[in-house]
Amino acid sequence: MQQYAPGDSVAYRVIGTSPARADAWEKVRGRPIYAGDFALPGMLHGAIVRSPYASARIARVDTSAARALAGVVAVLTHADVPRNEMRMELPGSMAEATAGAVLATQPVLAVDRVRFHGEPVVAIAAETPEIAAQAVELIAIDYEELPGVYDPVEALRPDAPHVHEGGNVLRRWHLRTGDVAEGFRRADVIVEHTYRTPFVDHAYLETETGIGWIDAEGVLVLRASTQVLEHFRDVADVLQLPHSRVRIEGAYLGGGFGGKEDVTVECLLGLLVWKTGRPTRLVFSREESFIGHGKRHPYVLRYRTGARRDGELVALEAELISDSGAYAALSPWVLFYSLVTATGPYRIPHVHVDAVTAYTNNPIASAYRTFGSIQTCIAYESQMDAVAAALGMDALELRERNFLRKGDAIATGQVLETEPMLAETMRRAWAALGPARAGDGPVRIARGLAASFTPYGRMCWTRDSASAWVGMELDGTAVVRCAAPDVGGGQTSSLCSITAEVLGLPLDRVVAVGRDSHFTPRAGTTTATRQLFMSGNAVLRAAEAVRRHLVDQAAELLEAGVDDVELAEGAAFVRGAPDRAVPHAAIVKAMSSSGRPMQALEKYDAPVAPTIDPLTGQGKPFNDYTFGTQAVEVEVDVETGGTRVSRLVACYDVGQAINRQSAEGQIEGGAIQGLGHAVLEEVALENGINRNPHLIDYKIPTTLDAPPVETILIESGNGLGPFGAKGIGEPAMTPTPAAVMNAVSRAIDRRVTALPITAERVLAMLAADDAPAVPSKERGRRIDGANEADAALGGAATGFRVEGPGATGSARS
């Protein structure tokens, strides 16, 4: 781990501490210049005309009145876009063998039909925002509504209207291991439920925004709020420019969560700047943000789980159907994450999972924190509680009996090389909830938990890499250059911590600058919980290289062996003789005089594995996973139906916290975002029309909805990131909705199978005689044989099917 460290057991001085982030002081003063804060003299203001229909033919676009308006500089339609498509390709052998598109495209501006409410049709640039808004109103578009499809299950029917030529199946994936029929024959109990999740919005505080201009060299520059600087290529391809002629300067983001992973403003903004030749700003309104950007995919998850009477899981059969919305975006990959995580962190010998994502005329669905892992967690963790109840077994004991351990294989055949520590995360999270509280009157209090596993880093076959540069200045301070966008998770600051640790510098003598596709070494996207892992390792390597030069020079100055030189607090000294010391500034000056390198550019390549088998899902999909458990206490008022999460504990093995407050902050924020998903949030769609595109209607948690979050960090040192760190950004959110569902299920003695858990939903479940029941542990009866369980199969397509006898009652957990 401490490759740079000359000693045997050097305690970290920076790593694992809780310093204020490098950007904290500027942020509390309101000083950072976000993409939408930047202005240039003479800049134009962009505006987008969007489709009010979810599925329609464009019969006529009349832009004449808008063009005639004084102050309007450009009115652009599809005919003005040099290559009017953004592309999503499945690489290599992934494109073969299974049904679905190999190349999916999305127009920058709609041509002759629109496929979702909010699809851009016309782009406008004007001298003022007011004129641009007025011009939007003057655009006359005749639409002829077309039949649409608004449900992925409907979309898969043969007679469904086609959203794109070639049908509505975008992509299928399959996971096969063992013999699932044999597995179910061995089962003493089989539990089957169907779970449904809604469209959910990222609802970051900063909407999509950017400003662009053309610099003196004729390079199109976009300063945009994006997680992906590499979108300069998409812009260049759309404008038919050389990639080298488009530059994206990444601003600090006002939140991303995956919603600024796809192209948002970039191509539209680039088009306006390129066509007008003038600086232009484009800011999406909150309503545009809601209707315009990709959401979390709604899923239908049919799960059938078989277990032996002693609790051993033996079989899982699952069908995952996701709603891709109107265009592909990242849906195939999101679905792939769901496939890999479908079993949960459990040993299951016989697994059969089919997954499909279908086009509809709903909003585009794409990346959102957890990237397909949250939907499967909702299903597999609900199933664990349901199986435990059916067996009359403690739900924690059932999990512990089946948790993955080091040396076990997940369902893709990948063997875990380090201990997941799942039982420890579960036991500690549960214990931290403290003494149980009794309900009062109509308020029932119950607890639930969910364990989880979430990949960090990209799929192994993508050959992910990141580069970084570290250099010394003559005064002994250090600069890090690394094109890693900071979405607010503290990415930049963590790179400073790593550098300070390695170079023996106080944190305030390291600065990380840039995030620019032209000027800083390419570090890849701030997505997939990969930045600490990837850029962190690249920075670690670069800093280690610089350290070697520093130590060589210091050894000369101190007349000591290089193995005896230590770096700390901005000076080199001889181990055991701290009075023999020389400050970094003097070392660097000597390096400068002697011609020693004062900087290093290094690249980190993630371990590579062959492409997985697309027919069976077998192979090594990801390099590593983050494991953790969240436990909650809920109060459910059975008279009003209201649910309040009163306690939340999250325990993860983070490998090694780099900045402790950042690691905690990620977990706290992820858990509360997950809480919103559980009890508040749903994009309200009516035949594809977004009925709540405002924060007043789309509720996210406030201070009064959010309970205090207790975070427990386990630091195994087992991660693949620098100093043994694992990624935590996405895993922080994965188990929250499932934990809340399990707690509410106990509180109301009904198995919650759909989100969000609104008061209406709770009351309906309490009122319905045939609501899916969850036999509580105290009342549950052991099933005496497989036949009884099998006999109950073949019931309704949704809801509770099999949990053995004794499925109703009123006992409280």
Partner 1 sequence: MIAIEFRLNGGARRIDAPAHWTVLDLLRDGLGLTGTKDGCGEGVCGACTVLLDGEPVRACLVLAARLSGRSVLTIEGVGADAPDPLQDAFATLGAAQCGFCTPGMILAARALLSVNPAPTEHDVREALAGNLCRCTGYVKIVEAALAAAQHVTPCASPRSS
Residue 703 in the binding site for partner 1 (CB under 8 A): yes
652, β-bridge pairs: 628, 713
Total chain residues near partner 1 (CB under 8 A): 57
The reply on whether position 702 binds partner 1 by CB under 8 A is yes
Pattern 112-151, partner 1, x by CB under 8 A: ----------------------------------------
Q: How far lies 667's CA from each of 296, 591, 730, in Å?
A: 19, 43, 9
Instruction: Tell me whether residue 12 or residue 38 sits nearer to partner 1 (CB atom).
Output: 38
Q: Which of 2, 105, 285, 599 is close enough to bind partner 1 by CB under 8 A?
A: 285
Q: Which residues pair with 511 in a beta bridge?
A: 479
**Could you tell me which of 326, 210, 330 has the C-alpha nearest to residue 268?**
210
What string marks each residue from 205 to 224 as x (binds partner 1 by CB under 8 A) or -?
xxx-----------------
Residue choice 7, 10, 20, 97 for contact with partner 1 (CB under 8 A): 20
761's torsion region: left (phi>0), alpha (psi -120 to 50) or beta?
Answer: alpha
Q: Is residue 252 at the binding interface for partner 1, with CB under 8 A as the rule?
A: yes
Q: Please count the CA atoms within 13 angstroms of the CA of 796 that sit on its side-chain side.
A: 9
Which CB sits closer to partner 1, 261 or 668?
Answer: 668
53, 184, 195, 257: which one binds partner 1 (CB under 8 A)? 257
Q: Does 595 bind partner 1 (CB under 8 A)?
A: no
Asked if 803 contacts 193 with a C-beta cutoff of 8 angstroms, the reply is no
The dihedrals phi and psi of 188, each to the nearest 5 degrees, come to: -90, -25
Give 281 or 750: the residue with its C-beta nearer to partner 1.
281
Is 28 among the residues that bind partner 1 (CB under 8 A)? Answer: yes
The side-by-side arrangement of strands in the sheet containing 443-459 is: 443-459, 622-637, 643-653, 709-714
Answer for which of 3, 18, 93, 240 binds partner 1 (CB under 8 A) is 18
Q: Which is nearer to partner 1, 664 or 715 (CB)?
A: 664
Q: Which is nearer to partner 1, 148 or 676 (CB)?
A: 676
**Residue 225 or 745 having the CB closest to partner 1:** 225
Listed in sequence order, the residues at least 6 apart from 226 whose beta carbon sits closer than 8 Å to its beta carbon are: 210, 248, 250, 253, 260, 264, 266, 485
Region for 744 from its dihedrals, namely left if φ exceeds 0, alpha if ψ lies in -120 to 50, beta otherwise: alpha
255 counts as binding partner 1 under rule CB under 8 A: yes
Q: For residues 36 and 349, which CB has a smaller minimum distance to partner 1 in the complex?
A: 36
Of 3, 7, 10, 27, the residue at the interface with partner 1 (CB under 8 A) is 27
Q: Which stretch binds partner 1 (CB under 8 A): 18-26, 293-301, 580-588, 639-647?
A: 18-26
Residue 635 in contact with partner 1, rule: CB under 8 A: no
* Residue among 420 and 707 whose Cβ is closer to partner 1: 707
Does the footprint of partner 1 cover residue 453 (CB under 8 A)? Answer: no
Q: Nearer Cβ to partner 1, position 87 or 694?
A: 694
Cβ burial 155-166 (10 Å sphere, 16+ → b, else e): bbeeebeebbee
Closest listed residue to residue 236, CA positions, set 277, 269, 281, 267: 267
Residue placing its CB nearer to partner 1 in the complex, 311 or 485 = 485
- Count helices and strands (H / E) in the chain: 19, 30
> Which of 254, 617, 735, 772 touches partner 1 by CB under 8 A?
254
Decide whether 288 or 317 has the Cβ nearer to partner 1: 288
* Of residues 614 and 670, the one with the C-beta less far from partner 1: 670
The CB-of-207 to partner 1 minimum distance in angstroms stands at 8
17 makes contact with partner 1 (CB under 8 A): no
- Cα gap 122→49, rounded to integer Å: 5
Kindly state the smallest distance separating residue 41's Cβ from partner 1, in Å: 12
Instruction: Please tell me whether residue 42 binds partner 1 under the rule CB under 8 A.
Output: no
| CB-based contact 324:334 (threshold 8 Å) | no
Closest CB to partner 1 among 537 and 736? 736
Q: Which is nearer to partner 1, 128 or 687 (CB)?
A: 128
Residue 521 vs 665, nearer CB to partner 1: 665
Q: Does 286 bind partner 1 (CB under 8 A)?
A: yes
* Residue 70 interacts with partner 1 (CB under 8 A): yes or no: no
Q: How big is the CA angle at 810 (ends 805 and 813), to the nearest 5 degrees? A: 95
Which of 253, 313, 390, 446 contacts partner 1 by CB under 8 A? 253
CB atoms within 10 A of CB 349: 18
Decide if residue 23 touches partner 1 (CB under 8 A). Answer: yes
Contact range with partner 1 by CB under 8 A, out of 84-92, 162-170, 201-209, 737-745:
201-209
Q: Which stretch binds partner 1 (CB under 8 A): 197-205, 520-528, 592-600, 610-618?
A: 197-205
- Decide whether 324 or 366 has the Cβ nearer to partner 1: 366
Out of 33, 431, 436, 608, point to the residue binding partner 1 (CB under 8 A). Answer: 33
**209 vs 475: CA distance, rounded Å:** 38
Whole-angstrom Cα distance, residue 548 to residue 567? 11
Q: Taking contact as CB under 8 A, which single stretch among the options 199-207, 408-416, 449-457, 461-469 is the one that binds partner 1?
A: 199-207
* Separation of alpha carbons 187 and 747, rounded Å: 28
Shortest CB 663 distance to partner 1, Å: 10
Q: Cβ of residue 673: shortest distance to partner 1, in angstroms?
A: 7
3-state DSSP assignment of residue 656 = coil
CB–CB of 747/634 below 8 Å?
A: yes
Q: Is 715 in the site for partner 1 (CB under 8 A)?
A: no
Residue 130 C-beta: closest distance to partner 1, Å = 8
Q: Is 626 left (phi over 0), alpha (psi -120 to 50) or beta?
A: beta
Q: Binding to partner 1 by residue 654, rule CB under 8 A?
A: no
The answer to whether the CB of 410 falls within 8 A of the CB of 422 is no
Tell which positions 663-692 bind partner 1, by CB under 8 A: 664-665, 668-673
Q: Which of residues 475-504 bind partner 1 (CB under 8 A)?
A: 487-490
| 3-state DSSP assignment of residue 166 | coil
Binds partner 1 by CB under 8 A, chosen from 8, 29, 41, 70: 29
Termini Cα distance of the chain = 45
Maximum C-alpha span of the chain: 85
The 3-class SS string of 118-144 reads CCEEEEEEECCHHHHHHHHHHCEEEEE
Backbone angles phi, psi at 518, to 5 degrees: -100, -35
Q: How would you list the strands of the sheet with 350-359, edge to edge?
A: 169-177, 350-359, 313-325, 299-307, 189-196
Q: How far apart are CA 257 and CA 589, in angstroms?
A: 43
Choices 171-179, 198-206, 229-237, 752-760; region in contact with partner 1 by CB under 8 A? 198-206
Q: What is the CA angle 78-82-83, rounded to 5?
A: 85
Q: Tell which one of 2, 12, 13, 37 touches partner 1 (CB under 8 A).
A: 37
CA angle 26, 28, 31 (to 5 degrees): 45
Q: Which residues of the shown chain bind partner 1 in the complex (CB under 8 A)?
A: 18, 20-21, 23-34, 36-37, 39, 202-207, 252-255, 257, 283, 285-286, 487-490, 661-662, 664-665, 668-673, 694-696, 700-704, 706, 708-709
